[in-house]
């Protein structure tokens, strides 16, 4: 039998005599170690104009964006490679997808078992590096810088493993993701049901083919992207002139980048009365990040061209109803009246549409939502996915 030391001082309260426990944040420690400029914001008017700081390992300058949310499912690296410059070779245990904002260049990839292979990219290219494969980026111009964004799942991965050596010095090769295929970045792809396009490299995302997407309304088209066998998921959507999408919500972390279009905006809000609603005006190169689980957002094209945006995101973002598996009900496409997270046109506040018509008038454009909004003062526009 073990006898208690009766002379031992016993704390009068659970916290007396104890220090507060503070868990180290491996991701924030990495940011500090990198010495990189950090933005904790969710709206950027122009990715080409974001102020960057020194990040020589990436090829010149850069910054990291993460949403102001304790639950960060991903982050965004904005990198500018100086003219004639190149990044340091690297590999890591987190996924990332690149979208080229400006300039042109090339990327070389390799593993410990295979020879190097390279592919070229330019503004509008989208590609993903296979998990833990070595890569190095090169600016193809000796006069102009090249700028890209890379959305990654570094925050949760670093917080899961909490080991810098494991994240950046791990030699494990994920052969199920990449086995040295010479055509891996050829730009070829395969179309599956439900508008799913599988490809590791999209040469020009603003011009890629899109497919029927009636769920979000008003003649939209879309492609769901599968790249490098990643857990991270991306999609690209387009909607016609004079139209807007239905409001909806889902989990945080979707990075919405306007790939083409002349004028428009997104509305984001969390409160039922929309008293905290923010209007995010956008142009080509703007980015809006969905900051939280309960953030409703809605996208409007009030320009004179069709608008196309890229959504870089992680996993299903809570889109699928709990317990229903991969084929379960997609809550972000399901009406709020049926327990989902989408606001149907007939249920939205008329002020939403009134604001849209005012914005259209500024650009000399006509509202084309009459088929969906009875009080619309415009005309009947697209009513199916293939209408223009």
What is the spatial distance between Cα 95 and Cα 79, in angstroms, rounded to a whole number? 16
Is 55 a domain residue?
Answer: yes
| 128 lies in the same domain as 237 | no
pLDDT of residue 326: 41
What is the spatial distance between Cα 339 and Cα 321, in angstroms, rounded to a whole number? 10
Is 19 a domain residue?
Answer: no
Q: Label residue 323 by pLDDT band (50, 70, 90).
A: very low
What CATH number corresponds to the domain at position 76?
Answer: 2.60.120.10
Q: Label residue 7 by pLDDT band (50, 70, 90).
A: very low
| Partner residues linked to 93 by β-bridges | none
**pLDDT at 1 exceeding the cut of 50:** no
DSSP string covering 94-156, please?
S-EEEEEEE-EEEEEEE-SSS--EEEEEETT-EEEEPTT-EEEEEE--SSS-EEEEEEE-HHH
DSSP-derived 3-state class of residue 250: coil
Mean pLDDT value of segment 310-314? 90
Show the domain range for 266: 190-362
| 158 lies in the same domain as 196 | no
Q: Measured between alpha carbons, how far is residue 170 from residues 91, 93, 94, 174 in Å?
A: 8, 8, 11, 11
The pTM of the full predicted model, rounded to 2 decimals, is: 0.89
Give the burial class of 2: count Cβ atoms within 10 A of its Cβ; 0-12 exposed, 13-18 middle, 19 or more buried: exposed
Q: Phi-psi category of 60—alpha, beta or left, where left has phi over 0 and alpha has psi -120 to 50? A: left
Q: Residue 121 phi/psi, 5° resolution?
A: -140, 165
**pLDDT at 5 exceeding the cut of 60:** no
Is 315 a domain residue?
Answer: yes
Number of domains comprising the chain: 2
| 356 lies in the same domain as 220 | yes
| 335 lies in the same domain as 201 | yes
What token pair was written down for 158? 């670093």
| 325 lies in the same domain as 208 | yes
The Cα angle at residue 222 between residues 216 and 224, in degrees rounded to 5:
110
Is 220 a domain residue?
Answer: yes
DSSP-derived 3-state class of residue 192: strand
Mean pLDDT over the full length of the chain: 87
Is 31 a domain residue?
Answer: yes
| 247 lies in the same domain as 154 | no
What is the spatial distance between Cα 346 and Cα 81, in angstroms, rounded to a whole number? 48
Is 13 a domain residue?
Answer: no
pLDDT of residue 327: 38
| 116 lies in the same domain as 247 | no
| 202 lies in the same domain as 333 | yes
Which residues, 6+ apart, have CB-to-CB distance to 167 below 8 Å? 30, 92, 93, 94, 157, 158, 161
The Cα angle at residue 280 between residues 278 and 282, in degrees rounded to 5:
170
What token pair was written down for 370? 């009459």
What is the spatial distance between Cα 319 and Cα 310, in angstroms, rounded to a whole number? 18
Is 128 a domain residue?
Answer: yes
| 103 lies in the same domain as 210 | no
What token pair was written down for 127? 């590609």
| 222 lies in the same domain as 348 | yes
Question: pLDDT tens digits, residue range 196-211?
Answer: 999 999 999 999 999 8
Question: pLDDT tens digits, residue range 63-109?
Answer: 999 988 777 889 999 999 999 999 999 999 999 999 999 999 999 99
What token pair was written down for 16? 């007396």
| 200 lies in the same domain as 131 | no
| 219 lies in the same domain as 126 | no
CB atoms within 10 A of CB 103: 20
Is 95 a domain residue?
Answer: yes
Q: Label residue 17 by pLDDT band (50, 70, 90).
A: low
What is the spatial distance between Cα 228 and Cα 127, in angstroms, rounded to a whole number? 9
Which element (helix H / strand E) includes 54? strand 53-55
């Amino acid at each position: 039998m073990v006898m208690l030391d009766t002379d031992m001082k016993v704390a009068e309260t659970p916290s007396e005599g104890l220090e507060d426990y503070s868990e180290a944040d491996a991701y924030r420690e990495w940011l500090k170690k990198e010495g990189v400029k950090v933005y904790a914001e969710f709206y950027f008017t122009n990715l080409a104009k974001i102020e960057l700081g020194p990040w020589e390992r990436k090829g010149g300058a850069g910054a990291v964006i993460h949403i102001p949310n304790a639950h960060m499912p991903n982050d965004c690296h904005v990198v500018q490679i100086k003219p004639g410059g190149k990044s340091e070779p690297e590999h890591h245990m987190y996924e990332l997808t690149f979208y080229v904002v400006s300039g042109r260049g090339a990327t070389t990839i390799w593993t410990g078992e295979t020879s190097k292979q390279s592919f070229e990219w330019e503004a509008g290219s989208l590609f993903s590096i296979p998990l833990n494969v070595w890569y190095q980026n090169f600016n193809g111009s000796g006069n102009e810088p090249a700028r890209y964004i890379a959305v990654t799942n570094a925050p949760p991965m670093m917080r899961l493993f909490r080991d810098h050596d494991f994240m950046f010095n791990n030699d494990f090769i994920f052969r199920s993701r990449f086995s040295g295929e010479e055509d891996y970045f050829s730009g070829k792809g395969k179309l599956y049901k439900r508008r799913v396009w599988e490809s590791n490299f999209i040469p020009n995302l603003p011009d890629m083919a899109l497919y029927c997407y009636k769920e979000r309304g008003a003649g939209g088209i879309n492609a769901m992207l599968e790249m490098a066998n990643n857990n991270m998921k991306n999609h690209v959507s387009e909607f016609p002139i004079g139209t807007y999408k239905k409001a909806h919500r889902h989990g945080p972390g979707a990075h919405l980048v306007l790939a083409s279009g002349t004028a428009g905006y997104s509305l984001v809000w969390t409160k039922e009365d929309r008293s905290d609603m923010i209007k995010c005006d956008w142009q080509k190169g703007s980015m809006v990040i969905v900051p939280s689980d309960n953030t409703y957002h809605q996208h409007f094209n009030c320009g004179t061209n069709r608008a196309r945006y890229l959504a870089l995101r992680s996993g299903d973002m809570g889109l699928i109803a709990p317990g229903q598996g991969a084929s379960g009900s997609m809550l972000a496409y399901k009406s709020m009246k049926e327990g989902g997270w989408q606001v149907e046109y007939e249920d939205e506040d008329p002020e939403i549409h009134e604001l849209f018509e005012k914005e259209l008038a500024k650009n000399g454009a006509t509202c084309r939502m009459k088929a969906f909004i009875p009080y619309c003062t415009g005309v009947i526009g697209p009513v199916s996915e293939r209408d223009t």
